[in-house]
Amino acid sequence: MKRVKSTPQDEIILADENANPVERSSSATKLLSDGYGKVVVPVLEQWFEHRESILREDAVSLLLASLGHEKYVDKAIKILHSDTDYVVRHDAARGLAKFCVDFIEGKKYENQINKELLLALVQDNEPYVQKECYKGLCRIITGKNLKEDKDSFDLNQDVNWNLLQPYLDKYGLRKPV
């Protein structure tokens, strides 16, 4: 394989638990872009449980959203509902929606992903996560990206509950009060 973005040093950094997490993340991305998936994927699999949030984010973003590996759907769903870092939960929501829309394999999971995004939308207290769940649902349901005109997000003002009502009914969920 010809290296374009990565160097042999990136392989060393990727595997080094003591290396800076940002540098490890960068090395993973460069190696993947150069076709070194066999080197990177086993490391990314370990990052789902990593203490560093940026590496947990990368596990979801790269394995599910970028590479479309369907075997990581359940891990991404677990992260969506239980990670302590709201940024990681946000990236799990984005990764699940992107996988569902952008990959043929994702279509098999559309029902499950819709349910989990809707569940997170009504249960997660972090507006940043709620907004990403809603954006993902809109993209899956309508095929269109949600127009963003502000940074804040309010479940009562910013969500088209009429669009989501059939899904709330289907999954036995209720709009938050």
Q: How much is the pTM?
A: 0.93
168, burial (CB in 10 Å: exposed 0-12, middle 13-18, buried 19+): middle
Residue extents of the structural domains in the chain: 70-170
Which pLDDT tens digit goes with each residue over 57-91? 999 999 999 999 999 999 999 999 999 999 999 99
Residue 177's pLDDT is 77
Rounded Cα gap, residues 31 and 3, in angstroms: 8
Calculate the CA dihedral of residues 119, 124, 125, 127 and round it to 10 degrees: -90
